[in-house]
């Protein structure tokens, strides 16, 4: 049987816009790949030999599936499980389980005359994926000459930064470009550093990439973003987004945006945690990080809250967040672990026990459980994870309370996954959903560490499979990998150079249809189908350092490298 080799497209996304489809075919305006719609979804890189192996089939009258090798020989057969239909995929999807098939090689799944993309079964299938998702951080470095045959460039954004609202300019260099744009944001960078350091803690040896060196590049920049009084500037960028040019070609004035409590708290939490990783190799740098973290916390303790919103002249990314208790909690947990000073723990416990949240409609804060998340705007789980890792520093009641908070969330995610067409554990599909999928996998893997319960690990693996092809749009969402990868990311270096940087996780489906292309092509689609692989769709097809970082964590914690 001829394996899928023809180019691929998004008929499944467009056929209900016949006019657009004709326009697209004749102009192929967005260079969307033309593919016969696939009905079988697999991890487009493959499966480790002894791992669980699930695939998904758009419901079929046939109840048998076959696995064929490269010689087109049937090497395995099995039955489609009963169909499931959930709210986010909103169609009947059958799961197939071929976990007990452990023959190494290249295969495809067949159901009647449908054929999946090819995939591999074997060992060490993901080391290139791991390397390239890490390399993306180096390639995103600001302010230094980048050595790379495809994406190398001279230093960018080396000019002095104007402090917003003043005439003062200071020198702030380095840090990673945030995403498809060239802004540098503390809230995004701290989450990214936490994920990478937690991944490093799980696996420090990876000869091809020095995670600690890469994270240090971001930390050195963050230290420059701290004011003398301890507060952190929220971000540094130009006043507005530039066009799709290379970073070194953006010459507009750089501005330091006003301070924020979220940036200051996130920095305190991240720097206090990070300092332990550099104690041996560079005690002076480690101490600098800890001192800066303490200074940031002192600012928070002695000042009112600064809720960030963009000033009118600055229209780059906002990372606004009215609920700032989780950031304060993260900072306090991390500072307690770093200093053993009980004053931090007491405050952290108080915030945890008396947590209130401002609802989305902005009405009065409601007393509720502190949400244990790893998202850029919901970071409490980093604080909880740090305390749980320092079991000897907290009493057993607190340990059990915090452990229960994680396990309760993990149990909820198991339930969602159980009833989900593609085994996903997200109920809402919003901007950056692929990053959210990886963050939820992080939580499941933490729960697995705490309990050894296999189901948590297995469902985390399903999130990884979802990212790499087990999804209704049949995409491998990491650029440069799989038979049908994201090829048109909203990413200025790729757009300017007209070549797609590999190893970047696309933000993925977003039901909010926030950009013009999403509105044009995705009306009426189910949430998980609200993805379009075009450069303009920044709400579904951008990339971001803090979507790559939880993927790095998941690859390590699934034991895939």
- Four-CA torsion 289, 291, 294, 299, nearest 10 degrees: -100
The single residue among 430, 449, 455, 536 that binds ligand G3I, judged by CB under 6 A, is 430
The single residue among 542, 551, 552, 554 that binds ligand G3I, judged by CB under 6 A, is 542
Smallest distance from ligand 9MR to CB 157, Å: 15
The single residue among 32, 142, 437, 504 that binds Zn ion, judged by CB under 5 A, is 142
Choose among ligand G3I, Zn ion, ligand 9MR, none what residue 431 binds, the Cβ cut-off being 5 to 8 Å by kind: ligand G3I
Phi and psi angles of residue 47, each rounded to the nearest 5 degrees, phi first: -140, 135
Could you tell me which of 244, 224, 241, 242 has the C-alpha nearest to residue 232? 224
Give the whole-angstrom CA distance, residue 545 versus residue 505: 9
Choose among ligand 9MR, Zn ion, ligand G3I, none what residue 247 binds, the Cβ cut-off being 5 to 8 Å by kind: Zn ion
Choose among Zn ion, ligand 9MR, ligand G3I, none what residue 156 binds, the Cβ cut-off being 5 to 8 Å by kind: Zn ion
Show Cβ contacts of residue 495 under 8 Å, excluding neighbours closer than 6 positions. Answer: 244, 535
Q: What is the DSSP letter of 484?
A: S
Residue nearest to ligand 9MR (CB): 181
Interface with Zn ion, residue 96, by CB under 5 A: no
End-to-end CA distance of the chain: 32
The single residue among 56, 65, 431, 475 that binds ligand G3I, judged by CB under 6 A, is 431
Phi and psi angles of residue 124, each rounded to the nearest 5 degrees, phi first: 55, 40
Cβ density class 2-38: b for 16+ within 10 Å, e for less: ebbeeebbbbbbbeebeeebeebeeeeebebbebeeb
Interface with Zn ion, residue 383, by CB under 5 A: no
Interface with ligand G3I, residue 536, by CB under 6 A: no
Stretch that binds ligand G3I, among 81-89, 165-173, 180-188, 224-232 (CB under 6 A): 180-188
The single residue among 35, 255, 504, 544 that binds ligand G3I, judged by CB under 6 A, is 544
Smallest distance from ligand G3I to CB 431, Å: 4
Which 517-546 positions form the footprint of ligand 9MR (CB under 6 A)?
538, 542
Interface with ligand 9MR, residue 255, by CB under 6 A: no
Please report where in the chains the tokens 């969307």 appear, as a residue. Answer: 32
Determine contact, residues 438/10, Cβ cutoff 8 Å.
no
**Residue 52 burial (C-beta neighbours within 10 Å; 0-12, 13-18, 19+):** middle
Q: Number of helices and strands (H, E) in the chain?
A: 17, 16
Smallest distance from ligand 9MR to CB 519, Å: 13
Nearer to ligand G3I, 86 or 178 (CB): 178
Smallest distance from ligand 9MR to CB 239, Å: 13
Smallest distance from ligand 9MR to CB 242, Å: 9
**CA-CA distances (angstroms) from residue 104 to 55, 77, 125, 367, 458?**
17, 16, 11, 53, 21
**Residue 167 burial (C-beta neighbours within 10 Å; 0-12, 13-18, 19+):** exposed
Choose among ligand 9MR, Zn ion, ligand G3I, none what residue 241 binds, the Cβ cut-off being 5 to 8 Å by kind: ligand 9MR
Determine contact, residues 139/146, Cβ cutoff 8 Å.
yes
Interface with ligand G3I, residue 317, by CB under 6 A: yes
* The pairing of beta strand 119-122 with beta strand 46-48: parallel
Interface with ligand G3I, residue 250, by CB under 6 A: no
Nearer to ligand 9MR, 111 or 139 (CB): 139
Interface with Zn ion, residue 247, by CB under 5 A: yes
Residues binding ligand 9MR (CB under 6 A)? 179-181, 241, 317, 538, 542
Residues binding Zn ion (CB under 5 A)? 142, 156-157, 247
């Amino acid at each position: 049987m001829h394996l899928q080799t023809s180019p691929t497209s998004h008929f499944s996304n467009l056929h209900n816009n016949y006019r657009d489809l004709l326009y697209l075919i004749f102009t192929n305006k967005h260079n969307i790949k033309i593919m016969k719609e696939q009905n079988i979804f697999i991890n487009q890189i493959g499966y480790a030999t002894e791992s669980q192996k699930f695939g998904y089939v758009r419901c079929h009258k046939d109840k048998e599936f076959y696995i064929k090798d490269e010689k087109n020989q049937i090497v395995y057969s099995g039955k489609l499980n009963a169909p499931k239909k959930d709210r986010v995929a909103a169609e009947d999807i059958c799961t197939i389980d071929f976990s007990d098939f452990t023959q190494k090689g290249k295969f495809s799944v067949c159901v009647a005359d449908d054929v999946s993309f090819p995939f591999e079964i074997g060992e060490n299938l993901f080391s290139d994926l791991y390397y390239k998702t890490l390399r993306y951080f180096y390639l995103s470095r600001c302010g230094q000459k980048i050595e790379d045959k495809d994406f190398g460039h001279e230093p960018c954004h080396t000019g002095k930064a104007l402090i917003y609202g003043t005439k003062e300019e200071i020198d702030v260099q380095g840090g990673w470009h945030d995403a498809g744009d060239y802004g540098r944001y503390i809230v995004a960078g701290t989450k990214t550093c936490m994920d990478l350091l937690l991944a490093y803690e799980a696996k420090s040896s990876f000869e091809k990439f020095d995670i600690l060196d890469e994270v240090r590049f971001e930390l050195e920049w963050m230290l420059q973003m701290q004011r003398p009084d301890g507060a952190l500037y929220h971000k540094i960028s130009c006043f507005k987004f530039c066009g799709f040019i290379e970073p070194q070609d953006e010459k507009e004035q750089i501005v330091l945006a006003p301070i924020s409590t979220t940036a200051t708290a996130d920095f305190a939490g991240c720097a206090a945690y990070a300092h332990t990783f550099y104690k041996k190799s560079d005690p002076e740098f480690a101490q600098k990080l800890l001192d800066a973290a303490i200074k940031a916390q002192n600012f928070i303790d002695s000042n009112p809250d600064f809720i960030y919103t963009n000033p009118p002249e600055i229209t780059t990314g906002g990372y606004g967040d009215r609920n700032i208790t989780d950031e304060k909690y993260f900072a306090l947990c991390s500072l307690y672990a770093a200093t053993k000073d009980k004053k931090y723990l007491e405050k952290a416990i108080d915030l945890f026990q008396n947590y209130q949240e401002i609802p989305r409609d902005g009405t009065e804060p409601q007393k509720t459980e502190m949400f244990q998340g790893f998202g850029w705007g919901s970071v409490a789980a980093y604080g909880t994870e740090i305390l749980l890792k320092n079991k000897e520093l907290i009493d057993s009641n607190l340990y059990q309370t915090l452990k229960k908070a994680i396990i309760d969330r993990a149990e909820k995610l198991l339930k969602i996954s159980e009833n989900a067409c593609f085994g996903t554990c997200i109920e809402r599909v919003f901007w950056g959903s692929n990053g959210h999928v990886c963050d939820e996998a992080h939580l499941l893997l933490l729960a697995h560490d705490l309990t050894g319960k296999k189901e948590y690990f297995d469902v985390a693996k399903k999130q990884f499979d979802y990212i790499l092809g087990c999804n209704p749009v049949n995409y491998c969402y990491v650029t440069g990998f799989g038979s049908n990868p994201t090829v048109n990311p909203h990413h200025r270096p790729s757009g300017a150079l007209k070549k797609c940087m590999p190893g970047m996780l696309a933000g993925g489906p977003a039901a909010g249809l926030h950009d013009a292309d999403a509105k044009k092509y995705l009306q009426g689609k189910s949430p998980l189908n609200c993805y379009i692989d075009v450069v303009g769709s920044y709400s579904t097809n951008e990339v971001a350092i803090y979507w790559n970082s939880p993927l790095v964590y998941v690859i390590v914690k699934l034991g895939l490298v």
